[in-house]
Amino acid sequence: MVRSSRDAVRRLLDRNPQARVVIRGPHVTYRGWDLHYVGGDGLARFMEDILVQEYQTLRDRVVYLRAWDMTLAAENTDFHVNPMCLNQLSNLVLDYTCTR
């Protein structure tokens, strides 16, 4: 799926060099975290490595938003990131893409 999205982003940027693309890094939750070794955010680092590796060829044209620190520091309610944190992430993306 990541390779397909990377290829689609490449085609988009070829068609429209003015397009701006932001890829948000993972934040993983898992309800069975206490019963399984990959519980909680255990797979997120692996997923992040995949994203960074697959988008390596587009790194000068795509912004990678590493949201790990922000989501990790935020309160997680009902196994998901607090909506206030999600709003801040949205604001950060808009700041990257809509300024100037």
pLDDT digit string, tens, across residues 30-82:
566 666 655 556 677 788 899 999 999 999 999 888 877 776 666 666 666 66
Instruction: Tell me if 50 sits within 8 A of 2, measured CB to CB.
Output: yes
Domain ranges of the chain: 2-98
pTM over the 0.75 mark = no
Q: In b/e form, how buried is each residue of 63-78, taking b as 16+ CB within 10 angstroms?
A: ebeebbebbeebeeee
Any idea how long the chain is?
Answer: 100
Nearest to 2 by CA among 52, 44, 62: 52
Q: Nearest 5 degrees, angle CA 79-CA 84-CA 92?
A: 115
Task: Count CA within 13 A, CB hemisphere, residue 59.
Answer: 6
Q: What does the pLDDT read at residue 42? A: 67
Split at pLDDT 50, 70, 90, the class of 25 is confident
Q: Which residue has the higher pLDDT, 20 or 68?
A: 20
Q: What does the pLDDT read at residue 35? A: 65
